[in-house]
Amino acid sequence: MNKPYIYDLSPTELSAWLEEQQEAPYRLRQIRQWLWRGCNSADDMTDLPKGIREKMTESFRFDAMRLKERLQSQEDDTTKYIWQLADGNVIESVFMRYRSGTSVCVSSQAGCKMGCAFCASSMCGFGRNLSSGELIAQVALIAKDQGSRVDHVVVMGIGEPFENYDNLLTFLRSCNDPAGFNISMRRMTVSTCGLIPQMLRFAEEGLPITLAVSLHAANDRLRSQLMPINHAYPLADLMKACRQYEKTSGRRITFEYALFKGLNDRTEDAEQLAAMLRGSLCHVNLIPANEVPGSDLHRSEPGAVENFARILQSRKIPVTVRRELGTDIMAACGQLRRMSTP
């Protein structure tokens, strides 16, 4: 009963299977087209002969990711998808519409081990890495459900993507495949809490994907309190790795900085951040923190957010404030979780 999930098969594996079944090689292209269209049953692959469809149903699993729930925001054009995986794990992804196009935020793990104090994803523990197929299927099934092209992919859902490096890369390359989703790598973003070895490895891949690094504090005392990973990779080392990343990849890093009331949103915090980032090829994305049940951290006042942004601007650091989408369905940054619905 341990059939492989059809979305997990690489083109090479699928070709080998077709050959074994003495089927024509061109069937590969047809099958992959169906997968990109979010097909989750061999019976629906109507341009394939019945014989192949039956063999596929026998050999592969098609329903390893089932839609458990779909929540539509009443405030904006955001939809949260809750998926039930074959082993009982539950994950979430989010579909958003911007003026610049549509975007899917995918989860990379069921749960998270990073333990950030402000993030719901850490609160339900860690299950496992998602397979490349489970990553790809999040995009394919959402595109199908929305009847829409996906223009952007952000790996900012549940989990730490760099803990699942190989599947992440298979996924990103698959999204880029011109025969499939054909999403430009320039429209992909991977967000990390700052795993230095993987950041440097990622720089070497030479892909024009945006790297986002979650900072949230500009001194070790506060960052360690918010993000335990800071004990392993403290700020001086992280900043050195970021400079190295910028040099190797020639690309600017996006620094994510969630603003918590009275904790990291004061004038001196902004000045400390500006000093730390001086001379770096970067962009700062401020996220007015989203409230998460079980955490006693609160969102900054709008005035504090404005003040923070103004200070960075005055130091010539490019800064944007992230629009909050989907807060009513717990679909905003830091609100996705492994097990239950809101």
Q: Kindly write out the interface string for residues 180-209 of this chain, putting x where it contacts ligand SAH by CB under 6 A and - elsewhere.
A: -----------xxx----------------
Min separation Cβ 1 and ligand SAH, Å = 33
**How many Å is the maximal CA-CA distance in the chain?**
69
- List, as own/partner pairs, every contact residues 169-177 make where C-beta atoms lie below 8 angstroms and the sequence separation is at least 24, other chains included: 169/205, 170/10, 170/132, 170/135, 171/106, 171/132, 171/135, 171/136, 172/207, 172/209, 174/132, 174/136, 175/136, 175/139
Tell me how far the alpha carbon of residue 129 is from its chain's centroid. 13
Contact residues for 272 (Cβ-Cβ < 8 A; gap 6+): 218, 219
Nearer to ligand SAH, 174 or 300 (CB): 300
Q: Which residues are part of the catalytic machinery?
A: 92, 333
Q: CB 156 → ligand SAH: shortest distance, Å?
A: 4
Give the whole-angstrom CA distance, residue 288 versus residue 190. Answer: 20
Q: Site for ligand SAH (CB under 6 A): which residue of 9, 45, 119, 325?
A: 119
Residue 171 lies near ligand SAH (rule: CB under 6 A) = no
Instruction: State the Cα–Cα distance between residues 147 and 142, nearest whole angstrom.
Output: 8
Residue 103 interacts with ligand SAH (CB under 6 A): yes or no: no
Shortest distance in whole angstroms from residue 214 CB to ligand SAH = 3
Closest to ligand SAH by CB, 23 vs 256, is: 256
Q: Compute the distance between CA of residue 128 and CA of residue 320 in angstroms, rounded to an integer.
A: 33
Rule CB under 6 A: choose which of 64, 273, 287, 312 binds ligand SAH: 287
284 binds ligand SAH (CB under 6 A): no
Q: Tell me which residues touch ligand SAH (CB under 6 A).
A: 114, 116, 118-119, 156, 160, 191-193, 214, 256, 258, 287, 289-290, 292, 333-334
